[in-house]
Amino acid sequence: MQLAARILGVASATVLLVTGISEALASDKARLEALANGEHRAAGAAERNRYRHPVGTLDFFGLEPDMTVVELSPGGGWYTEIIAPYVAGAGRYVAAGFDLGSANDRARASAERFKAKLDALPHLYGDDYAMVPMTPGDDWVEPGTADMVLTFRSIHGWMGRGTAETVFADAYRALKPGGILGVVEHRARANAPLDPEARSGYVPESHAIALAEAAGFTLAGKSEINANPKDPADWEGGVWTLPPTLRHGDENREKYLAIGESDRFTLKFVKPE
């Protein structure tokens, strides 16, 4: 009878533990959903959720609230609006790609706008975020301290500047052993020849994997959450033919809107322990 009671007690504790974990995971996902659709988002940003699937994408990467997360080339902060407040307090957000001291007026103005965006909502973003330049070969954070590095649709730009290999090596150096590199990029057709400069904006999935593995990463998973089979990925004007850029203005606008944003691969890599 005592043995049965002990077994029952262990079983009950296990159920409670599993239930607690499940509730915590559900709560974290609910927070991501709320942030992805929050009123703090820039005008029109939440409307792009149907193309970019931020909650599912970040869940696939394994984002957790206590992580130190480095986002590469955040641009206007589309993903920042979700990630930075999610990790504020328990973790830390680092935006790599901004230089407040840049001698280039345009680059400095971009950095100032980004900082103003975050500083305008301190209750969301906190004051522990960081903005760092993204000079190839330099450290964004102290080596081996980041839990996650994320890049959204930026590899083609690095290829065009000839820095892709260096950036992947920088990401590897920044991460802790076991740290995660999450990648989303416009996907070139499977039979398309490699353009070393990625002038169309599309990148072969196999090339992105090769870049990461050459830096030392191990491929941990693929997701088709950001796939779009309606995109033939062969536009004369490149990926910018499609929304949100709509390079051709009103010409065939409805056609491009019906296709939606580009076909994209979503890859998760791990730095070996």
| Backbone dihedral angles phi then psi of residue 187, each to the nearest 5 degrees | -100, 120
Return d(Cα 110, Cα 245) in angstroms, integer.
Answer: 19
Cβ proximity of 141 and 68 under 8 Å = yes
Give the pair of three-digit tokens for residue 202.
């599309």
The domain 51-270: what is its CATH number? Answer: 3.40.50.150
CA pair distance 273, 263, nearest whole angstrom: 32
* Parallel/antiparallel/unpaired status of strands 146-152 and 130-132: unpaired
Q: Tell me: the pLDDT tens digits for 129-156?
A: 999 999 999 999 999 999 999 999 999 9
Which SS3 state, helix, strand or coil, does residue 177 take?
strand
Per residue in 34-51, pLDDT tens?
999 999 999 999 999 999
pTM of the model as a whole: 0.90
What pLDDT, on a 0 to 100 scale, did the predictor assign at position 27? 85
Q: Which residue's entry shows tokens 């906190």?
A: 126
Of 10-14, 60-64, 117-121, 150-154, where does mean pLDDT reach its minimum? 10-14
| Mean pLDDT score, 9-13 | 43
Please give the average per-residue pLDDT across 97-108, as a whole number: 95
196 in Cβ contact with 152 (< 8 Å):
no
| Rounded (10°) angle between helices 54-61 and 2-36 | 130
Hey, what amino acid is at 161?
Answer: R
Beta bridge partners of 204: none
Mean of the per-residue pLDDT values of the chain: 92
- Side-by-side strand order, sheet with 68-72: 130-132, 92-96, 68-72, 146-152, 175-186, 264-270, 218-223
Mean pLDDT of 199-203: 98
Map tokens 């480095």 to a residue: 70
| Cβ atoms of residues 256 and 243 within 8 Å | yes
Contact yes or no for 70/149 (Cβ under 8 A): yes
Band the pLDDT of 2: cuts 50, 70, 90.
very low
What's the rounded Cα separation, in Å, for the pair 67 and 83? 10
Tell me the average pLDDT across 245-259: 96
